[in-house]
Amino acid sequence: MRNLKVDSQRLWASLMEMAEIGALPHGGCGRLALTDLDREGRDPFVRWCEEEGCTVTVDSLGNIFARRPGRDPSRKPVATGSHLDTQPHGGKFDGVLGVLAGLEVLRSLNDAEIETEAPVEVCVWTNEEGCRFTPSMGSSGVFGGLYAPEEVLEVRDVDGKSFGEELSRIGYAGAEACGDHVFETFYELHIEQGPILEAAKKQVGIVTGVQGFRWYDVVLKGQDAHAGPTPMEVRRDAMLAAAHMVELVIQAGRARPPHGRGTVGHMRVLPNSRNTIPGEVHFTIDVRHPDPAVLDAMAAELLQAICRSAEQDSVDIETTEVTHSAPISFDESCVAAVRSAVERLGYAHMDVVSGAGHDAVNISRVAPTSMIFIPCANGLSHNEEERIEPEQAETGANVLLNAILDRAG
């Protein structure tokens, strides 16, 4: 199969058009899952796929499947895709690149009047980011058999709105039972969101696996009291306790270089008043490592350390594990298909393990799966300054197109 190429200008134009939806003042995008902006991003994607002759279906968790027919309808589809929801101050390319490069694959196959043996599908997974509704990657998790549908549909955001209600409100509660949908293989193109490829001056990352992570919610309860008359030594200050624990979370990541990670990204202080000692603090923990045994040890040691710290600070503590995404290795034949496409196209490449979680981790539970990375500027992501160049988007899409063609025949 000759090395088919995508239309770089058309791909870039679609990325910039999507970037207008939920555009933020410093160049990023904010399209939180299941908000009106999420719908405003989904609707044009569905329209663009229908304009390419695809049939579009939506499942009960809002996952979208755009299907381009193949010569042999009995074959399972070769699929690709990613997510359109973003972090609150997200970039233009996290997730979106994988979705719109999939659309560009459909458009390029149509331009070349290629009829593949197997159908080709482009998917959008609902709520990959998990910042409004926990867990992250919840809908691909249901698709991959990690969660029952109601476990995700019943989750509520900080305003008490449920996933299921919001999914219906934006019109994407589909008829198809989530998971009743088989793929022959699944590929996800994504920006690396880290510094490795750029530092190594590689154009493509052949992703062999994804590191694991565990998310916890922590609630600390001390005692509201007056900031003036209350002596320092008698306070039960939940903010002080939280500050000590943030240090322990960061230390947990630093204690296992180079892959260990520890982050506190969200904190809610109650009653959140300048002159009242905080009696209650809610915060999140995100710990990561590529080795499952090390990840388990990190998490166990950290939970013990923060419970000891709570005691020393005379506050009550409640910890809840909200996500456990185990480290995985991708399917060797899918990794090989990506490798052969990259080598045929002549791109500088290297094998990498993903530091970020992706829907592909959940899909790899039910279909042979692998990922393709391209670098992003300074490895920065989950930041409005997330940036790639048009030719980098083209490179990733060319690898995706040829890996899909290899399998779809």
Taking the complex as a whole, the smallest distance from the CB of residue 214 to ligand HGY amounts, in Å, to 11
- Answer for which of 14, 80, 136, 203 binds ligand HGY (CB under 6 A) is 136
Window 246-285: contact mask with ligand HGY (x via CB under 6 A): ----------------------------------------
357 binds, among Mn ion, ligand HGY, none (CB under 5 to 8 A by kind): ligand HGY
- Nearer CB in complex with ligand HGY: 87/370: 87
95 binds, among ligand HGY, Mn ion, none (CB under 5 to 8 A by kind): Mn ion
- Nearer CB in complex with ligand HGY: 191/341: 191
Binding site for Mn ion (CB under 5 A): 94-95
- Nearer CB in complex with ligand HGY: 108/136: 136
Residue 379: count of CB within 10 angstroms of its CB = 17
Phi, psi of 18 (to 5 degrees): -65, -35
Taking the complex as a whole, the smallest distance from the CB of residue 89 to ligand HGY amounts, in Å, to 13
Question: How does 154-175 read in b/e, with b if 16+ C-beta sit within 10 Å?
Answer: ebebeeeebbbebbeebebbbe
192 binds, among ligand HGY, Mn ion, none (CB under 5 to 8 A by kind): none
- Nearer CB in complex with ligand HGY: 68/190: 190
- Nearer CB in complex with Mn ion: 95/327: 95
Taking the complex as a whole, the smallest distance from the CB of residue 267 to ligand HGY amounts, in Å, to 17
Residue 301 zone, left/alpha/beta (φ > 0; ψ -120 to 50; rest): alpha
Taking the complex as a whole, the smallest distance from the CB of residue 351 to ligand HGY amounts, in Å, to 19
Subset of residues 293 to 322 that bind ligand HGY, contact rule: CB under 6 A: none
The window from 128-136, 149-157, 167-175, 340-348 that contacts ligand HGY (CB under 6 A) reads: 128-136
Based on the shown chain and the rule CB under 6 A, indicate whether residue 128 belongs to the binding site for ligand HGY: yes
Number of residues that bind ligand HGY (CB under 6 A): 6
- Answer for which of 129, 166, 184, 313 binds ligand HGY (CB under 6 A) is 129
Sign, CA dihedral 93-99-105-110, equals negative
- Nearer CB in complex with ligand HGY: 106/356: 356
- Answer for which of 253, 262, 357, 375 binds ligand HGY (CB under 6 A) is 357
- The CA-to-CA distance between both ends of the chain, in Å, stands at 9
CB 59 within 8 A of CB 176: yes
- Nearer CB in complex with ligand HGY: 136/383: 136
Q: Which of 327, 115, 323, 111 is nearest to 207 (CA)?
A: 327
Contacts of 273 (CB under 8 A, 6+ apart): none
User: 127: helix, coil or strand?
Assistant: coil
* Interatomic CA distance for residues 93 and 385, integer angstroms: 10
The window from 33-41, 122-130, 183-191, 216-224 that contacts ligand HGY (CB under 6 A) reads: 122-130
Tokens of 158: 């900080």
Contacts of 376 (CB under 8 A, 6+ apart): 91, 93, 191, 192, 193, 198, 386, 387, 388, 392
CB 149 within 8 A of CB 371: no
Pairing of strands 261-263, 276-277: unpaired
Taking the complex as a whole, the smallest distance from the CB of residue 339 to ligand HGY amounts, in Å, to 24
- Nearer CB in complex with ligand HGY: 41/130: 130
Taking the complex as a whole, the smallest distance from the CB of residue 370 to ligand HGY amounts, in Å, to 17
Taking the complex as a whole, the smallest distance from the CB of residue 356 to ligand HGY amounts, in Å, to 4
CB 36 within 8 A of CB 170: yes
Taking the complex as a whole, the smallest distance from the CB of residue 5 to ligand HGY amounts, in Å, to 29
- Residue 389 to residues 107, 222, 336, 338: CA-CA distances in angstroms? 21, 50, 26, 21
Taking the complex as a whole, the smallest distance from the CB of residue 340 to ligand HGY amounts, in Å, to 28
Sign, CA dihedral 169-175-177-178, equals negative
Beta strands in 59-195 (DSSP E): 64-68, 78-82, 120-124, 185-191
The residue ranges that bind ligand HGY (CB under 6 A) are 128-130, 136, 356-357
